Amino acid sequence: MNENGFTQFSTLTVLLLLAAFYGGTYLLTLLIRKDKEDTSGFMVAGHHVGFGMGAASMTATWIWAASFYAAATSGYTYGVSGPIHYGLWGALMILFIYPFGRRFRKLAPNGHTLGELIHARHGASSQMILAISNILGSVISLMVNFTAAGALVSVLSPLSFEAGVLIAGVGVLAYTLTSGFRASVFTDFAQLVALMAIAIIIIPAVLFSAGGPEVMVQGLELMTDEQADLFSMDAILNQGAPFFVAVLAYAIGNQTISQRLFAVRESHIKSTFVTATLGYGAIVIGLGMIGLMALSVGMEPIDGKMNNLIPQMVSTYLSPVFVALFFVLVIGSLSSTADSDLSALSTIMMADVYGKNIARNNPNPKVMMLVGRITMIVATVAGLIFASFSLDILVMLVFVGALWGAIVFPVIVSCYWDRVTNAAFTWSVVVAMALFCIARFELLEMTGATVLVFEVLASVGGAVVIGLMVFGFLGRAAGLVAAALTLVAMLIFATGFLRDYMVLVASLTAYGASAAVCTAMTLMSNERFDFDLIKRRVGDYDDAEFEDSGSLVAEGAK
């Protein structure tokens, strides 16, 4: 133990653990390496990922280092219901996207990114809005994961924060660079098996080492009434509701999810995403229970930092072997997400930027692969630099979250309604972002009619979220009824009340404003789009003049 109460490994031990993890992962990728990588394999594994690999990859990708820390923080802060209000909504992000994913796949069976589909539907401006939001999200995710690696290494060993960041970045890049998405999925499986096995061992080990359920029950007396309540309104309003609002936005705005929707065999999309929902929920809620246990035994986080809770509990109650397992658990979770982000970024640059906008549907596969690999290297370097500077990403996160919220309605509705135009898509996002900024930063005085207007827009936003969720599973009529009922309920109960939660109002305004503008502009249009065109426009990188270029094969050439 060091003076802070954490188990302290020697530099050699940590280096050996990291070498074993990244070396082992690299060796695994040699098993699937091909002499002739093609663009389809590099971007979506040829659209033939099976159920097991797909579910493992989706689960591992969605679990990042912050998942454990935030779930434990939620358990410690909100008590009994805290871990559920973190893990459940994160899990539902995976579940609620799959009905729309099946539609995306039906429209563009050879697609690689959602941006390609939107390009085929609307054109470049809508596609680039989506691509930029995806790129920002993945770069932030990369940075956060590398930062987590640096923090963990510096807490548990004499190695510096920067050394941890560098090792994680180089390690992830080394095993992803050659085979791209195929390597990401294959290693995700191995990483998830390790991650799940460790979680299965650590959670009961901490529980019984800390005194078992009896001590936990006694700990209920240390909690406030809200913390001891499984249906705590405090937890619902402060932890659950903001996450609920983000359920669809995170799924639509994240290329790591859409990439897997295009990669898994079409018949396995439902089983893959339902299994990943259960897997994510079980692991994250389970590890969040360690935060609840910390609260129950009256532990105070070292230096007041909530991120110390899990390492502190593991160091306090378990032997160094378990701490080493925890170390592998966190490194595995952050690496699986980071490699997925690298694959996502490379695919966006290959398909959306180079394929659609630079090569204009006439890409040279050799150049395309080069673009993908250079993107991975540049993204890793950028992630390392940003992580080393420990930048404050809060503002960036706020904007990206709002952008994702603003594009949810236009993206989904563009895949079902043939009248939606490129102008409706683009302007709805622009107006929604402007109104979001006004509400989020209170650029206007939020009183009287002004705040009422935003509450009404937020109510529309709430109706959009519920309506789209119901629509995904039960169809248009049920979706419209659910949206109408939600709107009425929100207008009755939320006006005059929501203004006390301006962050929530701003998020919902992004949904509501984009839906209102997109719908209004669409209704004024007489255009009709033939959805069959998407199938013909997406994935067609084939071109005779490049068929024989080197050893690389464009997908469309097969």
Contacts with other proteins by CB under 8 A lie at: 32, 45, 49-53, 55-56, 59, 80, 182, 185-186, 189, 192-193, 196-197, 199-200, 203-204, 207, 212-214, 216-217, 275, 278-279, 281-283, 285-286, 289, 292-293
Min dist CB 200 to other proteins, Å, is 5
Shortest reach from residue 387's CB to other proteins, in Å: 29
Two tokens, residue 524: 């004024």
d(CA 140, CA 142): 5
Neighbouring-strand partners of residue 49: 264
Secondary structure string (H, E, C) spanning 137-177: HHHHHHHHHHHHHHHHHHHHCCCCHHHHHHHHHHHHHHHHC
CB 99 within 8 A of CB 271: no
The number of residues in the chain equals 558
Residue 329 is which amino acid? L
Minimum distance between the CB of residue 284 and other proteins, rounded to whole angstroms? 9
- Token readout for 161 is 């924060």
Q: Distance (Å, rounded) from C-alpha 296 to C-alpha 82?
A: 13
Are the CB atoms for 311 and 155 separated by under 8 Å? Answer: yes
Which CB, 284 or 429, lies closer to other proteins? 284
In contact, 372 and 346? CB cutoff 8 Å: yes
Between 28 and 480, name the residue whose CB sits nearer to other proteins: 28
CB of 367 to other proteins, least distance (A): 25
**Residue number with CB closer to other proteins (48 or 419):** 48
Distance of CA 218 to the CA centre of its chain: 37
Residue closer to other proteins by CB (options 88, 494) is 88
Nearest approach, Cβ of residue 50 and other proteins (Å): 4
Residues 354, 368 contacting (CB under 8 angstroms)? yes
Measured from the Cβ of residue 294, the count of other Cβ atoms closer than 10 Å reads 26
Nearer to other proteins, 199 or 407 (CB): 199
DSSP secondary structure letters along 335-351 = HHHHHHHHHHHHHIIII
Distance (Å, whole) CA 64 – CA 61:
7
Q: What are the structure tokens assigned to 347, written together?
A: 């695919």
Shortest distance, position 342 Cβ to other proteins, whole Å: 17
Q: Which is nearer to other proteins, 8 or 178 (CB)?
A: 178
Amino acid at 537: R
Smallest distance from the beta carbon of 290 to other proteins, in angstroms?
9
Question: In terms of CB distance, is 17 or 192 closer to other proteins?
Answer: 192
- Cβ distance to other proteins smaller for residue 92 or 433: 92
Closest approach of other proteins to the CB of residue 396, in Å: 32
- Find tokens 């650029």 and name the residue: 443
Q: Tell me how far, at minimum, the Cβ of 39 lies from other proteins, in Å.
A: 16
Which is nearer to other proteins, 215 or 370 (by Cβ)?
215
- What's the CA gap between 255 and 461, in Å, rounded? 23
Query: Residue 135 has which token pair?
Result: 């790129």
Q: Round to whole Å and give the CA distance between 263 and 282.
A: 24
- Of 123 and 211, which CB lies nearer to other proteins in the complex structure? 211
Residue 526 Cβ vs other proteins, minimum distance, rounded to whole Å? 47
Q: How far is the CB of 276 from other proteins (least distance, A)?
A: 9
Structure tokens at 112: 């690689």
Question: Which of residues 99 and 286 has its CB atom nearest to other proteins in the complex?
Answer: 286
Closest-CA residue to 311 (of 16, 68, 27): 68
CA 178 to chain centre: 24
